[in-house]
Amino acid sequence: MEAIREASVAGMFYPAGEVELRRELELLLEVNKPRKHYENVVGIISPHAGYIYSGKSAAYAYNVLRRDVNFETVIIISPSHREYFHGISIYNGDAYKTPLGITPINKELSEQIIENGNNIFLGVEGHRAEHALEVQLPFLQMIQEEFSIVPIVIGDQSRKFVDDLAYSLSKTMDENIVVVVSSDLSHFHEKYKADQLDSIVIDHINNFDFEGLMSDLETHQCEACGGGGIVAFMKGASLQRESKAEVISHTDSSDVSGDTSSVVGYLSAVVYRD
């Protein structure tokens, strides 16, 4: 492997040492287990703040993958926080690295996704220092030793790009692939307002109403920094066959900080089929 994307936020969003990181993840996964089992899981939605804040919600979703799914490749879909660019970028290197090891990129699947889309390309855009994608990897590395990834960062979450990704996903997802969408919810509102905004996203996910979610995101009726990825995933799954989704955890930063004057919301959810 020649081009490896090194860990960028280790020591900030999660522990930089392998032993400490494994210990934290083991505790999160041990404590936060959903009671319900899911069959035919297509993927999950997971938050991307520092583990101290959003790790609890994330662990619920990763326990679903750990318990109910066998997978070979994970398509990870992330928003771009640090740079804007047109279109959707799949990392053009060989692997991503965290303190838990190196995970290779599935280049064949990456090319298939690009071929089925009009605005998807290989590049480094969105991958240089993006935390939202990186923080998903240690959870995945904890629940399964061997797998490959397709790391996708959406530079522009407007409808035409979201629809393009949805169509491409619908042509490439299969039983050996799971999707992880990285998204937080509302940012920096008082808790009562954040709960109102977050409930709109939660209802759209539980109702599998991706069109309603896209419309409400466009008109600022709700907030989700990775909302475009959520819509693309749900729509892509629906284009393949009828699907369902269920939110299994909803928290916010005040659960840890105690500060309800300005909170960030988090959820995790499962997308599955009957």
- Average pLDDT of 204-211? 98
pTM of the model as a whole? 0.97
> By CB neighbour count within 10 A (0-12 exposed, 13-18 middle, 19+ buried), where does 223 fall?
buried
Instruction: Assess contact for 77 and 126: CB atoms under 8 A.
Output: no
pLDDT of 1: 59
Tell me the β-bridge partners of 97: 102
How far apart are the C-alpha atoms of 137 and 169, rounded to whole Å?
20
Residue appearing with tokens 């923080």: 135
The letter for the amino acid at 27 is L
Q: How confident is the model at residue 160 (pLDDT cuts 50, 70, 90)?
A: very high
Q: What is the pLDDT of residues 21-73, one digit of tens each?
A: 999 999 999 999 999 999 999 999 999 999 999 999 999 999 999 998 999 99
C-alpha gyration radius of the chain: 17
270 vs 38: CA distance, rounded Å = 8
Write down the residue that tokens 């297509």 correspond to: 42
**Residue 160 is part of which domain span?**
4-272
H-run or E-run covering 158: none
CATH of the domain at 84: 3.40.830.10
Q: What pLDDT was estimated at residue 2? A: 86
| Count of structural domains within the chain | 1
